[in-house]
Amino acid sequence: MAKTFEQIQLGDTDSFTKTITETDVVLFGGISGDLNPAHFDEVTASASSFKGRIAHGALVASLISTVLGTKLPGNGTIYLRQDSNFTKPVYFGDTITATVTVVEKTQKKRVIFDTICTNQNGEVVLSGQATVLAPRL
């Protein structure tokens, strides 16, 4: 059930967890057109600082959208802004948890969230903030 602006409280939090697969990366690359060898060419990716293929940063960030659009605030949310800092690579097989926490409600009825994605080891792979319009009654 979606929360309206009036129902949302500072500190409210929710999350979504997904294991990133090679299929996810291939599908995302096809949809987005981002066919960077860092995601698709093992030889090139192995020679990089990442030492192997990695998931698209935008794919990882999209998990935040999942939380905002389906959990908190939920159905009817309009995503206005996302600032992201990518701090660690995400490899195929990593399990990522995207978490959002309400940190501010503005006079213009916008809700600002701290956003964070962590891997299965508890390491932060993305941090930032998102701004949304919460659903209306």
* Number of independent structural domains in the chain: 1
Inside any domain, residue 5: no
pLDDT tens for the chain, 137 residues long, are 899 999 999 999 999 999 999 999 999 999 999 998 899 999 999 999 999 999 999 999 999 999 999 999 999 999 999 999 999 999 999 999 999 999 999 999 999 999 999 999 999 999 999 999 999 87
Q: Is 2 inside a domain boundary?
A: no
Contact 82, 135 (CB under 8 A): no
**Is residue 8, in this structure, part of any structural domain at all?**
no
CATH number at residue 38: 3.10.129.10
Instruction: Please indicate, yes or no, if residue 1 is contained in any of the structural domains.
Output: no
How high is the pLDDT of residue 136? 83
Query: 80 is written with which tokens?
Result: 């206005």
Would you say the pTM of this structure is higher than 0.75? yes
What is the C-alpha to C-alpha distance for residues 37 and 123, in angstroms, rounded to an integer? Answer: 25
Domain range for 55 is 13-133
Q: Are 77 and 69 in contact (CB under 8 A)?
A: yes
